[in-house]
């Protein structure tokens, strides 16, 4: 009989354990959910609850870490400052992985009928998916009273509008840069390229071979997730892969086809770059910093890491285009979104935090601490930023590149269309199809995938 | 104890067994059975979360399935998955068995060998993939350096070459799992009765015969178990693809679960994703059941 009782006891314990586990997870969500139920019952504007305005509004912000910088600590510092100045709001930061993880977490929460965080930092290019799914809300009413909207770099706002409405505010933004090893250029008697032809010739001149082995590449250009680094090249040849319409792509435009061929020719004709698709996002920046590659295409987000390792003079610039003296780059990175599924009070509080983060001094500080490009032009007028650029001129060069910046590839049905584009772009890079055939096929299939959105 | 059993047996309705399986039952019901049924149901509907007018599900019968099997990309993904499984499951099981034989001997340094073989198992797949990323690097990567040392002069762009990308993914999978499966064979080997081998030795059996005629058949249940988890693992483990190739170049290394993730979370196509889920479940069920039946029938014939 004793053993029977012990079995029952252990089952009881187990059930208790399971129950406690459930409770625990609930309590972690409690702040947001309590707030939700409290707010929704408040909305009919009945009699105020016993302690009016005593509870601060609690909001959550989901954010990713996408660069090599202590983002969590930096953001927490901003939250502390914000809460000190705004005692009626508390902000809880929730680290959620990478950009994709943040989007997936918020998406599945909403689909599962849960309450999303009030704020999320997600890719600027996710705007259509998020708006169509009803996850985010337009911010025009808030922005109408804000004094900083005109001060953002126009390219950073290029991925914020849809259907005549504003859906996101630029936050952690980057651009594509051509990094070049100034010491190598100087040693070879070369200057920074001012046209694509010059760049190709320089890359060839700076490629060094020892017999069959390459000891130094003129150029490395990652293409395992190719659209982003490819866009400046297409723009430089005269046509970005997207335009003003959210359902139109320009893959089979002659300028885009020319750009595909230019990429291929860097290895096929100039023998200045490894052939085929290069899965080298991580290794190319390391190779550049250690002096094994004269030039790379990379994110401005890698600048700090490269400068830390490189023992030579690093130059950064927008990619030279076809005509001498033309340049091109595209923007990237994440924006701030407010979720539609949270109570009005949380939305208001979330906007106040956005306003706080959009302050020019803070934008400058965030840029200095992380290596992201400051979102506002006036951030570059602050003393802190001027001082920083005096000591790190490359940060100023990255800002110079902004004048040539275009919109990042963002379109309705982005996941599917981008998949199609990547497939055919890589087929062309790997020599499985000609540039013209690949881009024609990409155009046909993308048009079909966009049909339902027109 | 026997009193307890008798007492339990006499009861008309005994709640104890049900109580015991209740937690498991609950978990399986909520996290396995329900999602499966839901996916089955949703696979007959068109639902695109990123298209406003298709956000609410519309019944379309079998269209998700007909579209799926008319899609060249999906057929390519099925082919990739087939190669991936054929290339990883038998090889990692064979290696696991050989590793187990090796470390089952009483030789010096066997502890280190065990640790070495098992070590990949304890690394998270994403970290392991990050390390392999640098092994695969063209020019100076460890893999290419090693291959060149033994005279290899072929293609070296492992992750960017469409003919090598899937193989790279397979190499990481085998490297990661062989040591894990080794543990099961090692446990199996150590629990084998020694008298059988003594008898065989008296009958003059060679070591080779003892290995393949006695040890391996006696480990049949281990093999069944390992085959099943290896097969499921081959479908399930795609983390390294996110790090190494993102399914590319041109989908050359996209396998079923990775494709499912893309369709569901990048294309936001709930209907298609549900249909793919059903294909995945049917494949898994088919293999697990046949594997079990085949191996059980073989067992009876032995007896």
Residue B28 lies in a domain: no
pLDDT tens string B33-64: 999 999 999 999 999 888 888 888 989 989 99
Nearest CA in chain A to B47: A133
Residue B53 lies in a domain: no
**B116 touches A at CB < 8 Å:** no
Give the ipTM of the model, two decimals please: 0.85
What average pLDDT score do residues A50-66 get? Answer: 80
Residue A352 contacts residue A89 (beta carbons within 8 Å): yes
Query: Residue A202: CB partners within 8 Å, gap ≥ 6?
Result: A185, A188, A190, A193, A218, A294, A295
pLDDT tens string A127-179: 999 999 899 999 999 999 888 999 999 999 999 999 899 999 999 999 999 99
Residue A413 contacts residue A449 (beta carbons within 8 Å): yes
Highest mean pLDDT: which range of A233-242, B96-105, B181-190: A233-242
DSSP single-letter state for residue A67: S
CB contact under 8 A, A104 and B265: yes
Which domains does chain A possess? 57-174+333-402 (3.40.190.10), 175-332+407-453 (3.40.190.10)
DSSP string, A30-45: HHHHHHHHHHHHHTT-
pLDDT tens string A374-394: 999 999 999 999 999 999 999
Name the minimum distance, in Å, from the CA of B168 to any CA of chain A: 12
Nearest to A276 among B1, B48, B161 (CB): B161
Question: Of A171-175, B101-105, B293-297, which gets the smallest average pLDDT?
Answer: B293-297
* CA gap A39, A129 in Å, rounded: 28
| 3-state helix vs strand vs coil in chain B, percent to 5 | 75, 0, 25
Mutation for B interface: A419, A420, A427, A432, most B CBs within 10 A = A419
- Sign, CA dihedral B226-B231-B234-B235, equals negative
pLDDT tens string A86-140: 999 999 999 988 898 999 999 999 988 899 999 999 999 999 999 998 999 999 9
Angstrom CA distances, B10 to A52, B2, B5, B21, B158, stand at 64, 12, 9, 21, 67
Residue B47 lies in a domain: no
Residue B43 lies in a domain: no
Overall number of domains in chain B: 1
Q: Tell me whether the omega of the peptide bond preceding residue B249 falls within 30 degrees of 0, making it cis.
A: yes
Residue B26 lies in a domain: no
Angstrom CA distances, A48 to A51, A55, A86, stand at 8, 13, 22
In the structure, what pLDDT confidence band is assigned to residue A2 with cuts at 50, 70 and 90?
very low
**B76 touches A at CB < 8 Å:** no
Three-state secondary-structure class, residue B106: coil
Residue B16 lies in a domain: no
- Sign, CA dihedral B294-B300-B301-B303, equals positive
Residue A414 contacts residue A394 (beta carbons within 8 Å): no
Range of the domain at B249: 62-302
Query: Residue A339: CB partners within 8 Å, gap ≥ 6?
Result: A106, A110, A116, A117, A118, A119, A120, A135, A136, A137
Which residues in chain A (359-418) have CB-CB distances under 8 A to chain B?
A: 412-416, 418
In the structure, what pLDDT confidence band is assigned to residue A213 with cuts at 50, 70 and 90?
confident
DSSP single-letter state for residue B39: H
* CA gap A191, A9 in Å, rounded: 80
**B4 touches A at CB < 8 Å:** yes
If one counts every other C-beta atom within 10 angstroms of the C-beta of residue A231, the result is 26
If one counts every other C-beta atom within 10 angstroms of the C-beta of residue A307, the result is 15
What average pLDDT score do residues A330-350 get? Answer: 95
Residue B176 lies in a domain: yes
CATH no. for residue B152?
A: 1.10.3720.10
Structure-token match 């033309």, residue found: A326
Angstrom CA distances, A18 to A5, A147, B31, B203, B295, stand at 20, 52, 15, 57, 37
Residue A56 contacts residue A89 (beta carbons within 8 Å): yes
Burial class (CB in 10 A: 0-12, 13-18, 19+), B260: buried
pLDDT tens string B271-287: 999 999 999 999 999 98
pLDDT for residue B154: 81
Residue B12 lies in a domain: no
């Amino acid at each position: 009989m004793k053993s029977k009782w012990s079995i029952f006891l252990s089952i009881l314990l187990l059930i208790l354990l399971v129950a406690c586990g459930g409770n625990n997870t609930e309590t972690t969500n409690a702040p947001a959910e309590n707030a939700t139920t409290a707010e929704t019952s408040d909305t009919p504007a009945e009699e105020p609850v016993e302690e009016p305005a005593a509870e601060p509004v609690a909001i959550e912000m989901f954010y990713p870490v996408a660069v090599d910088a202590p983002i969590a600590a930096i953001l927490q510092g901003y939250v502390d400052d914000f809460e000190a100045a705004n005692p009626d709001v508390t902000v809880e930061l929730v680290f959620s992985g990478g950009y994709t993880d943040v989007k997936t977490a918020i998406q599945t929460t909403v689909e599962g009928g849960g309450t999303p965080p009030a704020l999320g930092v997600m890719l600027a290019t996710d705007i259509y998916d998020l708006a169509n799914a009803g996850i985010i809300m337009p911010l025009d009413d808030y922005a109408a009273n804000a004094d900083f909207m005109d001060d953002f770099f126009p390219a950073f706002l290029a991925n914020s509008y849809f259907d005549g409405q504003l859906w996101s505010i630029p936050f952690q933004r980057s651009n594509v840069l051509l990094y070049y090893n100034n010491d190598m250029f100087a040693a070879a008697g070369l200057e920074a390229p001012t046209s694509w032809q010059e760049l190709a010739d320089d890359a060839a001149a700076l490629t060094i071979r020892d017999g069959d082995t390459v000891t130094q590449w003129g150029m490395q250009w990652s293409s395992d997730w190719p659209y982003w680094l490819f866009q400046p090249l297409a723009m430089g040849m005269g046509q970005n892969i997207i335009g003003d319409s959210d359902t139109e792509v320009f893959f089979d435009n002659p300028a885009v086809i020319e750009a595909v061929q230019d990429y291929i020719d860097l290895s096929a004709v100039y023998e200045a770059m490894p052939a085929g698709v290069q899965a080298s996002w991580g290794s190319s920046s390391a190779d550049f910093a250690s002096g094994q590659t004269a030039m790379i295409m990379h994110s401005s987000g890698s600048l700090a890491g490269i400068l830390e390792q490189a023992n030579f003079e690093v130059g950064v610039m927008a990619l030279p285009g076809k005509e001498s003296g033309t340049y091109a780059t595209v923007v990237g990175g994440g924006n701030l979104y407010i979720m539609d599924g949270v109570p009005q009070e949380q939305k208001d509080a979330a906007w106040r935090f956005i306003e706080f983060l959009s302050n020019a001094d803070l934008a400058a500080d965030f840029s200095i601490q992380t290596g992201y490009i400051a979102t506002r032009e006036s951030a570059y007028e602050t003393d802190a930023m001027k001082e920083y650029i005096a000591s790190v001129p490359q940060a100023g060069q990255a800002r110079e590149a902004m004048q040539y910046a275009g919109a990042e590839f963002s379109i309705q049905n982005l996941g599917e269309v981008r998949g199609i584009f990547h497939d055919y772009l890589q087929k062309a890079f790997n020599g499985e199809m000609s540039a013209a055939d690949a881009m024609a096929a990409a155009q046909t299939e993308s048009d079909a995938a966009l049909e339902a959105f027109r | 104890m026997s009193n307890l059993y008798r007492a339990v047996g006499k009861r008309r309705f005994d709640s104890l067994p049900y109580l015991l399986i209740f937690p498991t039952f609950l978990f399986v019901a909520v996290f396995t059975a329900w999602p499966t049924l839901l996916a089955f149901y949703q696979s007959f509907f068109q639902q695109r979360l990123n298209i406003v007018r298709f956000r609410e599900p519309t019944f379309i019968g079998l269209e998700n399935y007909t579209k799926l099997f008319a899609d060249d990309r999906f057929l390519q993904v099925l082919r990739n998955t087939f190669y991936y499984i054929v290339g990883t499951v038998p090889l990692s099981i064979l290696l696991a068995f050989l590793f187990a034989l090796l470390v089952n001997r009483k030789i010096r340094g066997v502890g280190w060998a065990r640790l070495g073989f098992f070590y990949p198992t304890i690394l998270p797949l994403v970290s392991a993939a990050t390390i392999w990323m640098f092994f695969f690097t063209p020019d100076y990567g460890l893999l290419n350096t090693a291959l060149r040392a033994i005279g290899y002069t072929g293609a070296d762009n492992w992750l960017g070459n469409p003919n090598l990308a899937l193989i790279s993914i397979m190499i990481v999978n085998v490297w990661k799992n062989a040591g894990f499966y080794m543990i099961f064979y090692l446990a199996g080997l150590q629990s084998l009765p020694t008298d059988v081998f003594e008898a065989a030795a008296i009958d003059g059996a060679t070591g080779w015969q003892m290995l393949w005629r006695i040890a391996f058949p006696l480990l049949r249940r281990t093999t069944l178990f390992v085959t099943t988890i290896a097969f499921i693992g081959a479908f399930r483990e795609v983390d390294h693809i996110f790090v190494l190739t993102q399914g590319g170049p041109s989908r050359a290394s996209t396998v079923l679960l990775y494709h499912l993730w893309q369709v569901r979370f990048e294309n936001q196509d709930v209907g298609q994703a549900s249909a793919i889920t059903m294909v995945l479940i049917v494949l898994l069920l088919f293999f697990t059941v046949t594997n079990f039946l085949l191996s059980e029938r073989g067992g009876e014939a032995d007896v």
